Amino acid sequence: MVNRPRIPSGREKHRQHAMDLMSAHPLIDTHVDLPLIMRAINRDPVEAAGQLSGSYPGHVDVPRMREGKLGGIFMAVWLPCRPGTDYCLPNDDVRDALEQVDQIQLIMREKDFQYARTSEDTLNAFKVGRFATFIGVEGAHMLGNSLSILRVWAQLGVRYITLTHTGHNAFASSAGSGGPIEPVHPGNGLTELGRELIKEMNRTGIMIDLSHVSDETMRQAIQLSKAPVLFSHSNARALCDHPRNIPDDVLDMIGSEEGKNSGVIHCVFNDTFVSLEDPTLAKVADHIEYIAERCGKGHVGIGSDFDGIDVSVTGLEDATKYPDLIAEMVARGWTDGEIVGLMGGNLMRVMDEVDRIQYELRDQKPSGAVYDKRTDIPGIWLENLPDLARKHWEERERNRQST
């Protein structure tokens, strides 16, 4: 009896092809909520950073990232919008968000990770076998209603900020969490301060993330931004009717044609946003193809939402499963170049374009806009001021009131 060599199946060939592509080019996941889990279950952030090298609760840790051949990861700074909290008022979220930024920076010190902000940083980390590690801030409620905080985030290396989470804030209107959400801003879009935020994000090179925002916020931000926008973890509403997903008229604003925004939309694995019935890997691929059909294959990417979701779709249960999604796109006839773009090339193009706009705006004066509902400035700490400064302020107030 002759032992013939086993012939790989078509599925095995597709997966091997996917693994080969992922060995040569970085796959970047634009949304992983690992930092919140780490801060929630560990008191010591330094100790927590070192625990990722072994098995860790949730969807993501170093062994699974290695098995899944992940090349880059956006670690999202995320604080849930608490029911009943008015995020147009001051709160402690800036402090809590800073602690998560610190947690991410501690992770970057570990041997498997490397700081990244640019496409060049991504490739440099990939070449030496480390995970290119970015910072994203999921919700402008963590700006404390202040553009000054935005500028500090930029100095700390934050690469994108999501304009809202599940609640409205001083800058923009949210899509909510799925149920009805009462508008608080005229037109249910950007506020005047939000328009200033868009300009400052362009000026400081922070990408504008439009996942979670209301439809009108999407439209206004795309129209206003000089730089490409980002959807870090969203799907197509035409395939899954959820307010967190993107309507067709907004998808049609994204693309390479003249007059469109050249941003990128990253498809999410959250079962709620994939399909109302039987959410699977194949249906995530359907979203990718639908968005690619409307916007172009150069405008789609991957943003899992791992560690921020209770249930991922069947076939994409954790960070080991990225190759299966790439194999699905191989099986659907996507070319190597198109798949490399989906994995991270499209995002790196957007990062380069955002950095180019930042350079062009380098001489633009920072925005001095202040939230109109703030009552603490000017006038705060008057009793602690030197006499000359306090008297100057008092005289200025008398003159202002008299006119």
**Tokens representing residue 150 in the block:** 């935005």
Strand intervals (E) in 5-140: 28-32, 72-77, 113-115, 131-138
The single residue of 121, 209, 305, 328 carrying the catalytic annotation is: 305
**Side-chain-facing half-sphere of 206: CA atoms under 13 Å:** 29
Where residue 208 falls (left for φ over 0; alpha for ψ -120 to 50; beta otherwise) is beta
Helix, strand, coil share (%) of the chain residues, nearest 5: 45, 10, 40
Look up 138 and say whether it is catalytic: yes
The single residue of 33, 196, 286, 307 carrying the catalytic annotation is: 33
Look up 59 and say whether it is catalytic: no
The single residue of 14, 59, 165, 299 carrying the catalytic annotation is: 165
Strand intervals (E) in 103-242: 113-115, 131-138, 158-162, 207-209, 230-231
d(CA 230, CA 138): 12
The single residue of 25, 31, 168, 185 carrying the catalytic annotation is: 31
Look up 31 and say whether it is catalytic: yes
Look up 168 and say whether it is catalytic: no
The single residue of 61, 93, 138, 328 carrying the catalytic annotation is: 138
Look up 14 and say whether it is catalytic: no
238 in helix, strand or coil?
A: coil
Look up 212 and say whether it is catalytic: yes
Report the number of secondary-structure helices (H) and strands (E) in the chain: 16, 9
Look up 33 and say whether it is catalytic: yes
Where residue 307 falls (left for φ over 0; alpha for ψ -120 to 50; beta otherwise) is left
Q: Give me the active site residues, please.
A: 31, 33, 138, 165, 212, 233, 305
